[in-house]
Amino acid sequence: MSEKPPCTSCGGSGKYTFMDFGLVPGPLEQHESECISCNGTGKGPGPDDCPECDGRGKWWTCSHPDDTPDVEYCKACHGTGKRVTA
């Protein structure tokens, strides 16, 4: 049984849509980007995936919106994204 549940962040679409409430008046623009929770796969963490990082193997830490996110490797799975069995 390796069937993965749909990603809860994007509902399984693999995409993340957001409205741009920009400073310019006018119609709102809808933007679409890849879901970072599932890397665009639309799949959630499976039973073999690390529960700490949801199988991603790394964390994104955003301190400033304008900065590029800092990537930290998950310490629980050492960046593999796989559940570590003791």
Name beta bridge partners: 26: none
Min. distance of Cβ 66 from Zn ion in angstroms?
Answer: 24
Our finding on whether 45 is near Zn ion (CB under 5 A) is no
73 in contact with Zn ion (CB under 5 A): no
For Zn ion, the closer of residues 23 and 86 by Cβ is 86
Q: What are phi and psi of 42, to 5 degrees?
A: 80, 0
CB burial readout 48-81, b (16+ within 10 A) else e: ebbebbbbbbeeeeeeeeeeeeeeeebeebebeb
Other beta carbons less than 10 A from residue 14's beta carbon: 18
Q: Which of 7, 22, 47, 69 binds Zn ion (CB under 5 A)?
A: 7
- Among positions 53, 66, 69, 72, the unique one binding Zn ion when judged by CB under 5 A: 53
- The residues binding Zn ion (CB under 5 A) are 7, 9-10, 35, 37-38, 50, 52-53, 74, 76-77
